[in-house]
Amino acid sequence: MKARHKRFILIVIGLALLGLAAMLILNAFQSNMVFFYTPTQVDKGEVPHGTGFRIGGLVVKDSLKRQDDGLTVHFAITDTAKTVPVVYKGVLPDLFKEGKGVVAQGKVGPDGIFIASEVLAKHDENYMPPEAAEALKRAQEQGKTVVMSK
């Protein structure tokens, strides 16, 4: 085998290994990516089925209800245009309050209720997640009001 053929084989093997590494990295990124959707997008069915995503907005006043087990809570998230009911089993963050900004991560169940696996609340009085703030701003620009969908 000539030296030129050996170099060609080494280059092909190197490119194959580089392609494999790139594929593994992209696969790891894809499995860790979580997209953000607004309640309006969830109501329109624009969210992927069977995969997790984040939803953000304001917690609707008087929507927070606790079950007897003390861990399961029901509340609703709104972007002032649409409202999505949420169920979460766990301890809520200390700063979680009705009428305040929140981001929840989870999936939409077959009944249209968002089943949250994680709830994030704002960490200071003036902070709102940028995606939630943008969704609220867009809904207010469209002049929509709160609609209770479920």
Q: What is the pLDDT of residues 115-144, one digit of tens each?
A: 999 998 866 656 666 777 787 788 778 765
Q: Would you say residue 114 has pLDDT above 50?
A: yes
Residue 77: band (very low, low, confident or very high) from pLDDT cuts 50, 70, 90: very high
DSSP string for 21-62: HHHHHHHHHHHH---EE-HHHHHHT-SPTTS-EEEEEEEPTT
Please report, as a single letter, which amino acid is at residue 43.
Answer: D
| More confident site: 73 or 112 | 73
CB atoms within 10 A of CB 109: 11
| Cβ(87)–Cβ(116) below 8 Å | yes
Residue 1: band (very low, low, confident or very high) from pLDDT cuts 50, 70, 90: confident
- Separation CA 128–CA 122 (nearest Å): 6
Q: 15: Cβ–Cβ under 8 A, 6 or more apart, which residues?
A: none
Give the pLDDT confidence of 10-52 residue by residue, as tens digits.
Answer: 999 999 999 999 999 998 887 778 888 989 888 888 888 788 8
Residue 54: band (very low, low, confident or very high) from pLDDT cuts 50, 70, 90: very high
Q: What's the predicted TM-score (pTM) here?
A: 0.68
- Separation CA 73–CA 83 (nearest Å): 16
